[in-house]
């Protein structure tokens, strides 16, 4: 499974529409009887989300958690591959890199961005079919950035 799939697309705390973090993982100590155990819980990310009523809901119903980009559910998308231009792709790549780094992935940002932009060119080229979706272009860029960062940190140590 790729970093893109594991850390972004399949994650409950990342918006699938813009790749920004929607939820923040926190550790809370819960007491049960005489024992206290730490538990991981998710709370909303205050800067990128908003609690509000969905337009189709009655005002008495519960509020929904909206991402800054306007979607309600974390796995919703308001775009498809044909809607993505260069500027939108750069925003998606920037948010994907930021979210992956916040989730503990070590990346070489410069290499990931360069690879992502090359992938966008491949994606829009009608004669190539090795990168066939925006998700494929983003996944390849993150994998490449991670591989470069890993290679840079692993230098052969000599023990004489």
Domain boundaries, the chain: 3-153
Closest by alpha carbon to 116, among 134, 98, 130? 134
Mean pLDDT, rounded, for 89-107: 93
Q: What are the pLDDT digits (tens) for 141-150?
A: 999 999 888 8
Spatial contact of 112 and 141, defined as CB atoms under 8 Å apart: yes
Mean pLDDT of the chain: 80
Judged by phi (left if over 0) then psi (alpha if -120 to 50, else beta), residue 147 lies in alpha
Rounded to whole angstroms, how far apart are CA atoms 157 and 49?
Answer: 46
Asked if pLDDT for residue 93 goes beyond 90, the answer is yes
């Amino acid at each position: 499974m790729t970093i893109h799939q594991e850390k972004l697309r399949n994650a409950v705390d990342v918006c699938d529409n813009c790749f920004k973090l929607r939820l923040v993982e926190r550790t809370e100590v819960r007491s049960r009887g005489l024992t206290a155990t730490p538990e991981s819980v998710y709370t909303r990310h205050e800067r990128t989300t908003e609690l509000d009523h969905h337009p189709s809901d009655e005002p008495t119903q519960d509020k929904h958690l909206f991402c800054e980009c306007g979607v309600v559910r974390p796995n919703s998308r308001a775009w498809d591959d044909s809607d993505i231009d260069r500027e939108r792709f750069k925003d998606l790549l920037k948010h994907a890199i930021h979210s992956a780094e916040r989730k503990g992935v070590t990346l070489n940002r410069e290499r990931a961005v360069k690879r992502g932009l090359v992938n966008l060119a491949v994606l829009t080229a009608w004669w190539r079919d090795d990168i066939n979706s925006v998700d494929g272009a983003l996944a390849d860029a993150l994998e490449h950035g991670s591989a470069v960062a890993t290679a840079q940190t692993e230098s052969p140590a000599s023990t004489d």
